[in-house]
Amino acid sequence: MSSEEPVAVSTASHVGAAFADAIELCRDAVARDDAIGHLSHYSLGMHNFSVDRSAEVDQWRRDEVVALGRRLSFQFTSLDRAVHDARTGSLIRLVAQSAEGAVICVTSQPGDQLVGVVRAPADREALPWTPHVREADELVSMLAITLRAHTRLSSQNPGGFETVQDFVPIIGEVTDPKVTVRKPDAPGVERMAELAADALRHKHLHFVAYCVDGEVAMTADSLGAPGLRSFFTQIHVDLRRRFYVALSRQLPESVTKLNRMLSPIPGGRLLRLVLDVDQGAIYYYHLGTGRYLVGVTLDQSGVMHADDYTARLAAQVLRDG
């Protein structure tokens, strides 16, 4: 959304000519698009510069937002280690969304991250499509791609934004997803198994977990589909399946840390978390007290589509109660 609103640029004392192009690109992007209120650039957790929209300056203290981005940059590294054993590459993008807004962190080159903050009240049943959140997500992701190009690095296609229009699922028909009910007495687990199997048949998601009270109550996946064989040269299907089950169980710990970190800005409980890696993404959706949904895609070109399908699945669970 175009606005051409004045912006304020703040730089750290160590910043010199090496950052001139990055500052100009970020300043122009924030000035043109009113989706994002604050954007900062970090190297190995060190703050380099920030761009703030003039209308947002009075709504938050810049030093608090800069400190938030610094903490998130360090947490980004920790989460990168957490997803490493899946053998799907490095963490390249993180989206943490609450009822009041979102924080987006994207790798622009090794050791460097862009962190954007957007205020946007969310509809629980339409989280990825919240006005301003998706626009800000795409803005930060495309800026990261541009900054990588400046140092002759190829695009990692964060969010799958470069391929969202031309995306075709990598696997064909999914007729028999592997569904495992692990906690038969969990509320809604049978219905969840039906919904997850149906979601997998749409071919955008490759793994789904439904978690209740700290336990993985149900999993469903199409990881054994012939079209995904090339994704398993370094790890067996069963090992990756077990990894996603273990990660699903552990995600609340990371969500709690992010909740504490992000609660001042943008505020509220974390409802959605996206961990975007070189090959695909992992999605967390809060469903209510003690319940959450985990979705996974292995296809980087379809990351945005898989996010949308996870959101639709979560919305259906919320409607079912």
Q: For the chain, how many structural domains are there in total?
A: 2
- Pair 133, 210 in one domain: no
> 307 in a domain, yes or no?
yes
Determine contact, residues 51/26, Cβ cutoff 8 Å.
yes
The whole domain housing 210 covers 178-320
> 169 in a domain, yes or no?
no
- Pair 127, 212 in one domain: no
Q: So what's the pLDDT on residue 142?
A: 96
Give the pLDDT band of residue 209 (cuts 50, 70, 90). very high
Q: So what's the pLDDT on residue 4?
A: 59
> 165 in a domain, yes or no?
no
Q: So what's the pLDDT on residue 263?
A: 76
> 173 in a domain, yes or no?
no
Give the CATH number for residue 244.
Answer: 3.30.450.30
> 190 in a domain, yes or no?
yes
Q: Taking all residues of the chain, what is their mean pLDDT, rounded to a whole number?
A: 92
- pLDDT reading at 65 higher than 80: yes
- Pair 203, 240 in one domain: yes
Determine contact, residues 238/178, Cβ cutoff 8 Å.
no
Q: So what's the pLDDT on residue 308?
A: 95
Give the pLDDT band of residue 162 (cuts 50, 70, 90). very high
> For the purposes of burial, counting CB atoms within 10 Å of the CB of 233, is it exposed (0-12), middle (13-18) or buried (19 or more)?
exposed
Determine contact, residues 196/310, Cβ cutoff 8 Å.
no
> 164 in a domain, yes or no?
no
> 2 in a domain, yes or no?
no
- Pair 253, 293 in one domain: yes
- Pair 227, 298 in one domain: yes
> 171 in a domain, yes or no?
no
- Pair 34, 125 in one domain: yes
For the segment 82-92, what is each residue's pLDDT rounded down to a tens digit? 999 999 999 99
- pLDDT reading at 152 higher than 70: yes
d(CA 315, CA 285): 10
| Arithmetic mean of pLDDT, 45-53 | 93
Q: So what's the pLDDT on residue 5?
A: 63
